[in-house]
Each structure stands twice: as structure tokens, then as C-alpha cells.
């Protein structure tokens, strides 16, 4: 575990450009790794994991600690909204507008496990490494099926003895955000930046009224997803809006779309 955290620390420093090839002193405490560079009296360069080890009264325990002085939160949750959905690959079929979502139940959940930042009292830059999960809630009467390389809608009726209660499509990705921040994120700050997601899993999930669940994996999803984000931070709470212009599905394999996500960070 220590080797993993140390490796992530070196990667984050390289991305931020705050590590120079010279002898440096650093300290390790409960808040993470702090590099003693001369950035100014109130400047810091810090890397901290979300889960840390704490010793008290001769006992050791894991706890969730505060992230580095960064606008990138440890946990995010938001709602996905699709725009400019294009069904051109379905010309001549009766597929219809099947990828029409229930926006309030189409959620995005992000867990940033290691965050690094270099900042002073007015401006800074942050990067993180974590995992992101996107849930696209479909009509409960429809799910997705693969047909000759094309994603097609398929009725859930008749797939099980009971009716479908929920139907959704889910992706999981390695998440790497970078943000430029203005102000002090522990008080009030504004930030903007971008992110790169590398998809590691995707599947459909149907939940039936009798409690049974059914999953199907391996849909033609693009490996790389990228977008931009703007955020307002108040102490331990932030409000963000993200825009993802890259396509969810591979060209010619599914509907084309752009994604907006609005949510909260903690």
C-alpha cells in the first residue's frame, strides 16, 4: 500500500510540474506529504490520500481525511443530462429515441483517492487520481443489446417471469482531473480545468420486481473520455458543472451525444 501511494505521489507531482530535479526536504504527517519548497510564506505543495492510517492509544485505524488544499473534492455526485443526441447510425431502423434518460436518476459518482496541489493564498493547480461511475437510467421497458456491432434497444418484457423495475447502463473509469484554482478552497474559491477518463468496465443492469438482477457486459464504449469542468468551492462543499464532448459509444456503434453533469462535491 505504501509503494502504491508513493508511486501515485510521484505521478501527481510530475503532472503538476512542482517537483524539480534537485535535493528537497519533505515531511510526512496526518495531512499527507508536504514538500518544503520556497513558494512563499503561505504557499504549499502537498499530496494526500483520501484514506489514511491513524494511531491512537496503541491502536491503529483507517479514517477518511481531508484532501490537500485543493478544489478537487474526495467525493462527487451529480446528474447526467444528454444533449444533441444523434441517431444517424439507426437510419432505416425502427430503434426510435431509445437512449432517452431519466435525468434525476442518471447519476455520476466520483471517488478521488489521491489528490495533489501546489498553491499559494491566491492561485494554485491541483490534480487527482480516482474512479468515476456513470449511470444512465433507461426506460424500465427497454435495455440494450448488441446486434452486428450496433447497440440496439431490446424490450425487457419476456426476459423474466416478473416485470422489470429498473433498467440502466453503467460505465466505470479511471478518472484523472486537473484544475486551476483561484482563491482559498478552504474558504471560497473558483476553479476550472479538464479531466481524462479511461473506461475499465461497462454493463447493462435490469432489476425485476421480485428482486432478481441481470447484467450484461462488454458494449462498444470508447476507452478515452475527456471533458471540461468549472467549480465553485465553499470550505468542504463545492458545486460543479462538467461538459463532456467526447462520444460515449464508438463511431457507428451507438447514438452520438454530448454529456452535461451538474452536481456537488464533498
Element (H, E) at 7: helix 2-16
Distance in angstroms (rounded) separating the CA atoms of residues 221 and 130: 20
With H, G, I as helix, E, B as strand and everything else as coil, classify residue 212.
coil
Cα distances (angstroms) measured from residue 210 to each of 19, 180, 214: 56, 48, 12
Q: Which residue has the higher pLDDT, 135 or 53?
A: 135
Residue 252 burial (CB count, 10 A) = 11
Task: From 259, 257, 255, select the one nearest 87 (Cα to Cα).
Answer: 255
Predicted confidence (pLDDT) per residue in 23-37, tens digit: 344 455 444 555 554
Distance in angstroms (rounded) separating the CA atoms of residues 230 and 153: 34
* Three cell numbers written together for 83: 444533449
Q: What is the C-alpha end-to-end distance of the chain, expressed in Å?
A: 24
Predicted confidence (pLDDT) per residue in 179-209, tens digit: 999 998 888 999 999 999 999 999 999 999 9
156, 141 contact by CB (below 8 A): yes
Task: From 139, 189, 193, select the one nearest 166 (Cα to Cα).
Answer: 139
Q: Which residues contact 36 (CB under 8 A, 6 or more apart)?
A: 24, 25, 26, 27
Of 34-43, 100-109, 154-163, 226-235, where does mean pLDDT reach its minimum? 34-43
CA 109 to chain centre: 6
With cut-offs at 50, 70 and 90, classify the pLDDT of residue 51. low
With cut-offs at 50, 70 and 90, classify the pLDDT of residue 54. low
110, 76 contact by CB (below 8 A): yes
* Three cell numbers written together for 203: 454493463
pLDDT > 50? residue 18: no
Determine the pLDDT at residue 23. 35
Amino acid at each position: 500500500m505504501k509503494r502504491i501511494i508513493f508511486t501515485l505521489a510521484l505521478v501527481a507531482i510530475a503532472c503538476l510540474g512542482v517537483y524539480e530535479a534537485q535535493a528537497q526536504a519533505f515531511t510526512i504527517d496526518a495531512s499527507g506529504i508536504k514538500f518544503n519548497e520556497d513558494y512563499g510564506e503561505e504557499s504549499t505543495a502537498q499530496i494526500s490520500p483520501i484514506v489514511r492510517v491513524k494511531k491512537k492509544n496503541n491502536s491503529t485505524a483507517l479514517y477518511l481525511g481531508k484532501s490537500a488544499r485543493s478544489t478537487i473534492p474526495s467525493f462527487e455526485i451529480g446528474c447526467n443530462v444528454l444533449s444533441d443526441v444523434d441517431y444517424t447510425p439507426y437510419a432505416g431502423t425502427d430503434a426510435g429515441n431509445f437512449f432517452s434518460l431519466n435525468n434525476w436518476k442518471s447519476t455520476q459518482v466520483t471517488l478521488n483517492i489521491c489528490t495533489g496541489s501546489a498553491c499559494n493564498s491566491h492561485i494554485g493547480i491541483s490534480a487527482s487520481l480516482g474512479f468515476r461511475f456513470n449511470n444512465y437510467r433507461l426506460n424500465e421497458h427497454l435495455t440494450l443489446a448488441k446486434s452486428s456491432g450496433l447497440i440496439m434497444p431490446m424490450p425487457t418484457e419476456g426476459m423474466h417471469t416478473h416485470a422489470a423495475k429498473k433498467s440502466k447502463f453503467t460505465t466505470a473509469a479511471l478518472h484523472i482531473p486537473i484544475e486551476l484554482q483561484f482563491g482559498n478552497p478552504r474558504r471560497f474559491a473558483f476553479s476550472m480545468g479538464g479531466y481524462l477518463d479511461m473506461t475499465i468496465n461497462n454493463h447493462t443492469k435490469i432489476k425485476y420486481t421480485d428482486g432478481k438482477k441481470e447484467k450484461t457486459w462488454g458494449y462498444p464504449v470508447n476507452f478515452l473520455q475527456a471533458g471540461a469542468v468549472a467549480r465553485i468551492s465553499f470550505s468542504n462543499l463545492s458545486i460543479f458543472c462538467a461538459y463532456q464532448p467526447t462520444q460515449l459509444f464508438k463511431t457507428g456503434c451507438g447514438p452520438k451525444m454530448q454529456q452535461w453533469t451538474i452536481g456537488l462535491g464533498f
